[in-house]
Structure 1
Amino acid sequence: MRRLVALCLLGLSLSFGLSEEAAAQRPSRAAETFRLEPQRPGETDVYILSFGLWGPQSVFESEARGAARVLEGTFASNGRSIVRSNTKRRAGANAATLMAASRAVGRVLDPGQDVALVVLTSHGAPEGLGLVGPREAGVLTPRDVGALLDASGARYRILIVSACYSGVFADALADPRTLVITAAAADRSSFGCRDGATWTYFGDAFFNQSLRSERRLDAAFAKARNLVTQREKREGFEPSNPQIAGGALVLEHLAKR
């Protein structure tokens, strides 16, 4: 199923181009609805953006919501998260909304002190992530996601991508100030995208299990990677080989909280 969907994504010729200039030309009422607690002077606040991008299957909306809840608890970020998803009937996470949400975070955080954390969950292909709503379909490329991170203005950034082939984002975007965690290597599928499920395999292992007991992201990732690999081997799947890259300065910064 995942390989079939990935091949379908290859046929989508539209890339959303989430540059600041392009986003500014797209009307959006979503920015007016975002409500975020202000930055606390002297504190390192973590602002969370969690998006379920593939509307035809409810697992991605469920995972985006669940990931945000767990991360809010991990980083004491209640009131500092935005969660939006596409569904079969609602375009809650279109290209304009994603950029508007990131800019909304940028208006309240301290760019040199706070952390912007973006979660993206969808089907994936080597070109990027599927962004599919009732009236919009396309591919969110690493360049698009880089623009999304940049729009927050944050010096310290975290990107977590749950999708097939999501390692392409680690290859393209990881650096000392950008921690990238992905559900799969750039050449591997990930699993668990059944409609009606609560989590994908990686989402369950990382958010639902590991982060509830381990607050360091790198340690939680190591635990989740083992859990995912064991499950995939047990069920006869080729291991997805989740990735973690970059972020040395981010992890150091968070350790001081």
Structure 2
Amino acid sequence: MLRSIVVWLVGLFLAAVPVQESFGQTARRTDPMRLEPQRAGQTDVYILSFGLWGPQSVFESEAKGAARILEQQLGAKGRSIVRFNTKRWAGATPETILAAAEAAGRTLDPAEDIVVLVLTSHGAPEGIGLVAGRETRLVTPGDVRALLERTRAQHRVVIVSACYSGVFARELADAQTLVITAAAADKPSFGCRDGATWTYFGDAFFNKALRGDARLDSAFERARGLVTQREMREGFDPSNPQMAGGSQVLERLMVACGPSPVRQACRCGPPSARSAAC
């Protein structure tokens, strides 16, 4: 009951936040954002991970943990930017988020590389919340589309951990954009408790499923089952996580993993290609 009241109050708060214009035309100069250079002839993965809701530390923790696991599993060491808001620090503002996207855009090969964007926060049917110090705004699918364009990447992955985040799958998914969300467009998700390490979806997808399987699609299927089991066990209406689009992205991620050595084949290859050593 308490959890339902909290979800309702957050939704009411976000509903009162005016939808502002899309992120500004140019990013202001912020802290340096250094990324390892693109390697010609290889598919490199660049990760942008943002914890947007400053008043609760779970979103900082999830943004950090998601980037760390994605970097390890997708071979993206040195190619990630993580920013987050806390009760005392505004590190994921519209300006810094834009700067991160533009840093990736200056570094990657648009046709060859992949950008993975992770957003974790509270959500509403129209988008997700950003609370950075005194700045409060709603980040809409249109904002995220503009952000992806700043990266210049033709192949993108968007992972949104928030209530009602299925709206991003509905608006953004296509063959070149894989969208994974913690909930359907009309469902809340759970586990956003101050002091927690992960939300329910973040724990299932990043911390459990993705640690053992670098294929985003199969990791998602396992995570969806784990989340649903936990929610039903604890008496919650299932959040119904979503995955849509991305057929070309998944093919390119296979290239990024590479066919060898055996360890990579075990982690990244399709079931028919996995070595008996797995």
| TM-score normalized by the length of structure 2 | 0.89
Offset, 1:23? 3.1
Partner of 2:29: 29
Offset, 1:16? 4.7
Offset, 1:4? 1.6
Partner of 2:266: none
Structure 1: 5+ residue stretches without partners:
none
> Which residue identity lines up with residue 255 of structure 1 in the other structure?
M
Q: Percent identity at matched positions?
A: 64
Aligned partner of residue 25 in structure 2, secondary structure? helix
The 8 Å contact of residues 64 and 119 in structure 1, kept in 2 or not, is answered as yes
Deviates more, 1:6-15 or 1:129-138: 6-15
> Which residue identity lines up with residue 232 of structure 2 in the other structure?
K
Residue 50 of structure 2 is aligned to residue 7 of structure 1: no
Structure 2: 5+ residue stretches without partners:
1-5, 257-278
Partner of 1:145: 144
Aligned partner of residue 118 in structure 1, secondary structure? strand
Offset, 1:256? 2.1
Distance in 2 between residues matched to 1:156 and 1:57, nearest whole Å: 32
Partner of 2:163: 164
Aligned residues: 251
User: Displaced runs of 4+ in structure 1, greater than 4 A?
Assistant: none
Residue 45 of structure 2 is aligned to residue 46 of structure 1: yes
Offset, 1:177? 0.0
Q: Deviations over 1:122-155 (max 9, x none)?
A: 0000110100011200100010011011110001
The 8 Å contact of residues 16 and 95 in structure 1, kept in 2 or not, is answered as no
Partner of 1:246: 245
Partner of 1:201: 200
Q: Answer 1 or 2: higher relative contact order, Cα 8 Å, separation at least 6.
A: 1
- Map residues 72-83 of structure 1 onto 2, 5 A cutoff: 72-83=71-82
Aligned partner of residue 23 in structure 1, secondary structure? coil
Q: Deviations over 1:180-204 (max 9, x none)?
A: 0000000000000000000000000
> Which residue identity lines up with residue 155 of structure 1 in the other structure?
Q
Partner of 1:128: 127
Question: What's the C-alpha RMSD, in Å, of the aligned pairs?
Answer: 0.9
The 8 Å contact of residues 211 and 217 in structure 1, kept in 2 or not, is answered as yes
| TM-score normalized by the length of structure 1 | 0.96
